[in-house]
Structure 1
Amino acid sequence: MPGSTPGLDPEQVRKAATALLKFVGSQREESKELLQDDEVFQLLISLSHTPQSKKSSKPVALPVPHSLYDYDGAEICLLVKDRKGEGHKEAKARVRQAEIGKIAKVVGLSKLRTKYESFEAKRQLCAQYDLFLADDRILPFLPKLLGKSFFKKKKQPIPLDLTRADWGAQVKRACSCTYLFRSPGSCLNIRVARSNFSERQCSENIIAVLQQVTAHIPKKWDNVQAVFLKTADSVALPLYQVLPEAVQKISA
């Protein structure tokens, strides 16, 4: 069930989404070179108290009304084991058999260790695909093999259970969600929309994410001090803020 978000004004959400869409549009018009990719809108959630939880490589799936990945041209990279019978050749055959068109690339662990060993190769791989999925059995090995680029861009691989037969259904579900990556800090960063969305689509995704994410925050909405919306290059537009004094009274 969605959580309660008292004080969050849907009209303020709508205004911020509208302003950010206009900003991205003006940036495109002013740019001498056409921007090839849509900008990703990020939700920044500042907490008044830092959660006492360890960093986890397994993300929390947050279903959204409007997929960030279900559009023409979206491409997915699937990371798999190298074990005989489960390597990239077998995975590519399964992808073709299941007709999962959005999976454009299948990469085995050995390729990550060799072909994508350098920082520049990792950076290019990160930039090349919209979403990364991975066999959940290799998830613990990936942070070291992929490097910092994936974490900075919030493109850590999403785990799939590839021992099951329903690969197509799992990929579809993965594309219908955005993801909360837990960290030991007091700020959460979640991808919520794209610049090709309408104002309504942006607003609906933002509200859906905020209503769900409270279940994964200690003290829930009472622990949220501020929420902002931004792109990688924009200022942070406020959606919700509470004075530190008010937070202290609530937490007391």
Structure 2
Amino acid sequence: MVNIGTCKLCGQEKELIGKSHIIPRHFYHKTTQEIENHFNDVSQGDKVPRLFSADYKSRQAQSGLYVPDILCTDCENFLGRWDNYAQNFLLKEVNINPLGNNDYTIQQVNSFDYKQLKLFCMSVLWRSHISRDKAFGSFKFFSEVNLGTVWENILRNLLLKEDPSDEDTFSVAIFILTGIEAQSVIPPSPRRYHSVNSYRFRMGNYGFLIKVDRRKFSEGTRKFILKPNQPLKLYVQQYTKNNDYQYVLKGLNNYQN
């Protein structure tokens, strides 16, 4: 059935697509081999991670997180370019170094496309905001993402102009969580770091923190934010040492019971 409505990005009356991806599905898979298989459209079988809602309900995610009737085909493809770059760069080009006996380490990537990687993170934030009232299965996965009218308009206009802005506007810091325990996807949530407002996203082993505030991150956090013409610094942590681990443990226990 054709659904004609207003596209959330371009604002035009068009046919809206039935599945707009919010977080691309390739971030959900456990090993390099599985990622390679998925890029080649090999069947997933049962090896898919589990989504957790804020009230610990869970379900498997076989094809990423998507919602219907928010974007037209042109705008889905427009945003999809940045999805493709982020998936290929983070999942195929970045080799995650082992932690050894360390709880965390800092990994540096000398070359990356600041514009495409940052616009990807910005677009995930924006898509999450416009999807906050949409149900995914039995729960509203993005319900905690609410930018308000002013920030949503600023972000939407930057996306339309393909403008990642400077490093202190919607600053992005990317982190990696290691270990099989990290293979879960939890809802994005608001965070405050030294009184600076931001949102935290998790996508399998990867996650990112994105600032929604005119104030700058603290100097410690700013060391890790994406900067043009500079290396990318990734904070790599053992997942069992991360605060999210207890959240997922509770969800798994509820699922098993």
**Highest CA radius of gyration, 1 or 2?**
1
TM-score of the two chains, using structure 1 as the length reference: 0.27
TM-score of the two chains, using structure 2 as the length reference: 0.27
Greater relative contact order (Cα < 8 A, sep 6+)? 1
Which structure has the highest helix share of the two?
1
